[in-house]
Copies of this chain bind each other. A is one copy, B any other.
Amino acid sequence: MAKSTQPESRERGRDPERTRELILDAAEQLFAAKGYEETSLADVGKQAGVSRATPGYFFGSKAELHRAVIERCFADVRRAVREGKARALASGQTPEVVLAGAVGDYADFVAARPNFVRLIEREALSDRVVLDGMPLRLAVWQEALAAFRQELGLDISDTAEAAHLLLSLVALTWFPIVHGQTFLKAVGLDPTAPNFAEQRKRHITTLLLGALRERAANTSTWS
């Protein structure tokens, strides 16, 4: 082992791994809150408690730092997807119950990590196509779709329908995170209210369950 002697946490020592994580945390926070352009490497350094030049030292360039932040973010999403899938399949419940659970789980996940939603949203708005060189993004969504179909017992049937369902789930859960201070407030919804989260989950579950039932009725009865 190269790093054999680090049994204790070093409060004031040098710790490149820790520093790296601190910089990633700071960058994630700032990129999500202010965006890529409005965030300077000096800002990141200050927020991370290091010098102005350290982020550049560790990541080479601002673009690379950004890339690293996104990558870590998608890795977290993938972990959540896998955990949700495992739990859903282990439960052995009907598709309806599984769907309700998935809605709750995913809503909780994005509510707990608004930075992720904001980051990915900003990423999508930037026309710079980052699909090249970022296979993780693609893989995560594809994995999520596969898990979704499997959880819901839609294995053989129409792919597009499952994709639309997943798309709707994501759209419905993300929107309040981004527009909580604008749209939501305007229509009289307070996303910080204690009952809002549950209210929203019920609403989304109702929407998706309706479509799922309608689809089940159609396929089993007519085709």
Contacts and interface: CB of A to CB of B under 8 A. Distances in A.
A186 B34 contact: no
A64 interface: no
Copies, count: 2
Interface in A73-103: none
A186 to B, nearest CB: 4
Interface string A148-188: 00000000000111011011101110111011011111111
Counting contact residues on chain A (CB < 8 A from B), the size range is 35 or more
Interface of A: 33-35, 37-38, 118, 120-127, 129, 131, 137-138, 140-142, 144-145, 159-161, 163-164, 166-168, 170-172, 174-176, 178-179, 181-189, 199-200, 203-204, 206-211, 213-214
6 contacts: A121-B125, A131-B182, A163-B188, A171-B175, A207-B211, A210-B214
Contacts of A167: 175-176, 183-184, 187, 189
B181 A129 contact: yes
Contacts of A138: 185-186
A183 B164 CA distance: 11
Contact of A183 (B159, B170, B187): B170
Contact of A178 (B124, B187, B214): B124
B34 A203 contact: no
A211 B149 CA distance: 22
A210 to B, nearest CB: 2
A91 to B, nearest CB: 24
A140 B175 CA distance: 18
Nearest to A34: B127
A34 B187 CA distance: 29
Nearest to A182: B124
B210 A189 contact: no
A130 to B, nearest CB: 8
B210 A206 contact: yes
A120 B34 CA distance: 16
